[in-house]
Structure 1
């Protein structure tokens, strides 16, 4: 009976076991003892298996390659102590840029809020005074008799405030003049506004607030009266300076 071919199958796989195959053949014809051949086969197979396991462990245990840190790729995953000198410069640059962007955004936001306050919400703004004058027109019975129901009165100014002006007189007093249109279910008209800030004051005072509707008498809601003594103090050589 021929011996089992299992040892041959084991030795046919690795090319390095050709010598062991030769010894097995010699063993079969009685020229070598069986114990020597078996030991050689076992040792060769074990060595090959150990080498394969070491290669597998080395391949599987290799750590992933560390990515370089740059200004654009830094995501903060590495601690400061893990960075090289160049990478520390990159992180410092990135943080400086972020800081500048935050400051610029804060300044821009503050500027927008300041502009909104000074141009819309401040009592000294033209928008505020426009809305205030419109409410005065709607609340005056003489105006609603000419224009109609106050709830249907609409007011609109000139394009780009071309009919609004702010200036100072020779005495340093600030003046605001504004004209705008009003329209109601009965008639349409024009509102004239003249306001002034007295010296060392921060609020506007009406010099004139009037409504003119074509075909009707002028309705005067506010008209400043000269204070006693003020007119004489400001009148020089017969000329009244305003």
Structure 2
């Protein structure tokens, strides 16, 4: 009877783990119990399942409007690199446009206001000479109270009156600056005529005529030079309906 009985128990050490167990569970799996048939039941540990289910957290896609430079260039995809390049190109164009506009404004201010040969500068000098000339103050009144302004406009609300100014060149290549404006003092009103010439090879304007006309009084000349002293022959000009000698 005892010779006929065969035990079905198989010792665990007699089993080759490489033939009976999955590769992924071989290193960290542990035996839990032995089945009645003699085979060992194996269970995967928590670390095995966690490493297989973990993944890298996703990040927000970079666009032209949302790119703030947080991610490096190497971390971007092809589409994100195109978005960043587009954004940087647009920013560069804005900066370049700002530089050009700033340069244009500065150039305009210098040529029209701060340059020694600008119309605004010549107007200020002429007004100051009228205020300081005794013959002009005798007709107009105290120099500090003399006001200078341009031509009247169609708008009665306009505070700034434009100065009648014209710049042109003659047949000799000389540049002519012609200006006319009004002056008013406590005693009278008058009109100032300014004519300046800049020879072709010179940088600064020279006076040809600076005169004050007050109704009922002879013209007062503060400057009255001939063309011979300005590098050319006498050639009358007719501007603003007035012939300049």
Instruction: With the length of structure 1 as denominator, give the TM-score of the two structures.
Output: 0.67
Indicate if the aligned counterparts of 1:155 and 1:181 stay in contact, CA closer than 8 A: yes
Matching residue within 49, 72, 83 for 1:90 = 83
Q: Which residue of 1 aligns with 2:134?
A: 141
Indicate if the aligned counterparts of 1:170 and 1:241 stay in contact, CA closer than 8 A: no
> In the superposition, relative to structure 1, how do residues 186 and 63 fare at CA in structure 2: closer, same or farther (>3 Å)?
farther
1:28-177 superposed matches below 5 A: 65-158=58-151, 161=162, 163-177=164-178
Q: Which residue of 2 aligns with 1:22?
A: none
- CA–CA distance in structure 2, aligned partners of residues 140 and 66 of structure 1: 79
How far apart are residue 100 of structure 1 and its match?
0.9
- CA–CA distance in structure 1, aligned partners of residues 150 and 88 of structure 2: 49
- CA–CA distance in structure 2, aligned partners of residues 208 and 226 of structure 1: 11
CA offset digits 1:140-186 (Å, max 9, x no partner) = 11111111111111101125757321111111111111110001111
- CA–CA distance in structure 2, aligned partners of residues 178 and 74 of structure 1: 56
Indicate if the aligned counterparts of 2:149 and 2:183 stay in contact, CA closer than 8 A: yes
| Unpaired stretches in structure 2, ≥5 consecutive residues | 1-44, 154-160, 238-245
SS of 1:206's equivalent in the other structure is strand
- CA–CA distance in structure 2, aligned partners of residues 145 and 210 of structure 1: 15
- CA–CA distance in structure 2, aligned partners of residues 176 and 203 of structure 1: 11
Give the structure with the larger helix fraction. 1
CA offset digits 1:174-216 (Å, max 9, x no partner) = 1111110001111110000011012311110000001111122
For the aligned residue pairs, the C-alpha RMSD in angstroms reads 2.8
1:187 is the counterpart of 2:188: yes
Instruction: With the length of structure 2 as denominator, give the TM-score of the two structures.
Output: 0.66
How far apart are residue 64 of structure 1 and its match?
5.4
Indicate if the aligned counterparts of 1:173 and 1:197 stay in contact, CA closer than 8 A: yes
CA offset digits 1:46-92 (Å, max 9, x no partner) = xxxx99xx99xxxxx98753000011110111111111111111111
- CA–CA distance in structure 2, aligned partners of residues 139 and 64 of structure 1: 82
| Unpaired stretches in structure 1, ≥5 consecutive residues | 1-49, 56-60
Indicate if the aligned counterparts of 1:153 and 1:184 stay in contact, CA closer than 8 A: yes
1:162-241 superposed matches below 5 A: 163-225=164-226, 227=228, 234=233
How far apart are residue 123 of structure 1 and its match?
1.5
